[in-house]
Amino acid sequence: MYVIYDYDSEYGRTSCPNNAVSIALHLYRKWEGTGLEHYIKVYVHSVHGKYAPEELVGKPFIYEFDWKKSLSDLMC
């Protein structure tokens, strides 16, 4: 699950990385020039699967998704 945050709260959720990048880009353009565009973050919330080490299977994890890098990959 991709969770998108703007400057003050959670903005939206999606299971598609392309949609997450699209939403983040929309927010970036909305807040561009106000100084608030630096607070736009996308996080991945997930659970370790069966191929993870045995002690991690089923445990949740969160990491920041680099939406700007993904945007540049999509635009190539």
**pTM to 2 decimals?**
0.86
Distance CA 55, CA 26 (A): 39
Q: What is the pLDDT of residue 44?
A: 97
Distance CA 18, CA 9 (A): 21
DSSP code string of the chain: -EEEE-SSSEEEEES-HHHHHHHHHHHHHHHTTTTGGGG-EEEEEEE--TTS-TTTTT-EEEEEE-HHHHHHHHH-
12: pLDDT strictly greater than 80: yes
Check: CB of residue 40 under 8 Å from CB of residue 63.
no
**pLDDT by residue (tens digit) across 34-59?**
889 899 999 999 999 999 999 999 99
**pLDDT by residue (tens digit) across 14-40?**
999 999 999 999 999 998 888 898 999
